[in-house]
Amino acid sequence: MSNSVLIINGPNLNMLGNREPEFYGNETLADVEEKCRICAKELGLKIEFRQSNGEGEIVEWIQQSSENFAAILINAGAYTHTSIAIHDALKGSGLPVVEVHLSNIFQREDFRHISYISCLAEGVICGFGSQGYVFALQATAQLL
Ligand code: CA2
């Protein structure tokens, strides 16, 4: 448990590889998961990799996370920019949080410049595509 990381992917990330490769690359979410599994093994971490399009489901996962995980790595997708519920759940979990985004949200529309997660995250990685998940796992390993 002390080396277990919950990786949460939010809405539409199940569509990766299908559209908008200029922002999100050509890899599918399964490819990103595989990359994380290889990296986690090297780092001695256990991962649980999940995706949901539902805000409530993500909140429930976070509420239950402290029982089984030592840290949360999250790409909350568009909920990053809207969800006080996910913010509150993350805060309540008491776990260290690392925020990741495939695209550089600061090069994009103004509404993507706001994150309700960044203020409680240990750190934020964005703009490096799927490699950002690897950087985020490395950072998480350091934190743990
Ligand atoms: O850059 C990121 O990782 C984002 O979290 C991705 C979200 C976006 O809303 C955030 O602002 C930044 C979008 C998830 C992927 O959406 C897709 C939609 C259609 C096709 C492929 C992916």
Is residue 16 within 6 Å of ligand 1 at its C-beta? yes
- Whole-model pTM: value is 0.97
Substitution site in 53, 102, 128, 135 for ligand 1 pocket (most atoms within 8 Å of beta carbon): 102
pLDDT at position 20: 79
Would you say residue 28 has pLDDT above 90?
yes
Q: Is the dihedral of CA 14, 40, 112, 120 positive or negative?
A: positive
Nearest to 40 by CA among 138, 139, 142: 138
Which two three-digit tokens encode residue 9?
Answer: 């992917």
pLDDT (tens digit, 9 = 90+) per residue, 103-139? 999 999 999 999 999 999 999 999 999 999 999 999 9
Confirm or reject: Cβ of 19 under 6 Å from ligand 1.
yes
pLDDT at 25: 82
Range in 4-8, 22-26, 51-55, 67-71 with the lowest mean pLDDT: 22-26
